[in-house]
């Protein structure tokens, strides 16, 4: 990537997400309810005091905001590749990924604030939370990673192994929305999410590192 101090936002996005996830797991006394779980398990998790959402929700929100900023860096890379469609793909993917993550965090806060005590509402919100923060976020992240990888190869601004890793990581993320219709495909969410976080961090370090070296 061209020297870009703001590219470090990719690192911040990945680290804040993982910190929120890990912190929530550490604070929680029970496992996070899986998709399709019943209202009792949802209430048990989100009704905890202290709430794991104190840690996980801020981490998700920071991740969403900084992923939006990283998207601007990827869109700039795509623009320099000379491809308008690739630039629009990066912008759309980043907007979907960051927006859906923020929505999922907001739904989690709502559940922790009392919605988990209402069985029907709890089940609906929990499902929508997973759709937003899991499958929809995955689809958006896949578009962003695909644009990053292709633009990185076209411009030569990313090391080829990193650009190709972005394209590979895009695949399970792009397939993640299949889990909406096929619950058994839910494994695609973590299969795409965690490699994607590694690629976003590496690309952010590469872009911001070049900025520091070229000053």
What would the pLDDT profile of 43-76 be if each residue is shown by its tens digit?
Answer: 999 999 889 999 999 999 999 999 999 999 999 9
pLDDT in tens, 73-121: 999 999 999 999 999 999 999 999 999 999 999 999 999 999 999 999 9
Torsion from C-alpha of 145, 56, 181, 95, nearest 10 degrees: -40
Query: How many domains in the chain?
Result: 1
The answer to whether the CB of 26 falls within 8 A of the CB of 76 is no
Give me the domain span that covers residue 170: 5-214
pTM across the whole model: 0.92
């Amino acid at each position: 990537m061209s020297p870009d101090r703001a590219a470090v936002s990719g690192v911040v996005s990945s680290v804040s997400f993982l910190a929120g996830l890990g912190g929530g797991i550490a604070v929680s006394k029970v496992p996070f309810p899986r998709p399709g779980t019943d209202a009792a398990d949802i209430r048990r998790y989100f009704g905890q005091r202290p709430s794991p959402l104190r840690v996980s929700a801020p981490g998700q929100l920071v991740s969403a905001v900084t992923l939006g900023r990283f998207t601007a860096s990827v869109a700039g890379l795509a623009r320099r590749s000379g491809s308008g469609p690739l630039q629009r793909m990066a912008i759309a993917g980043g907007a979907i990924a960051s927006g859906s993550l923020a929505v999922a965090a907001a739904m989690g806060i709502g559940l922790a604030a009392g919605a988990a005590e209402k069985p029907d509402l709890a089940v609906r919100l929990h499902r929508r939370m997973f759709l937003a923060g899991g499958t929809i976020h995955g689809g958006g992240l896949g578009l962003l990673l695909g644009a990053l990888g292709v633009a990185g190869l076209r411009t030569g601004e990313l090391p080829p192994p990193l650009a190709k890793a972005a394209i590979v990581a895009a695949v399970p993320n792009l397939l993640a929305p299949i889990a909406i219709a096929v619950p058994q495909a839910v494994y695609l969410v973590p299969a795409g999410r965690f490699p994607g976080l590694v690629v976003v961090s590496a690309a952010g370090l590469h872009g911001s590192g070049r900025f520091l070296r070229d000053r």
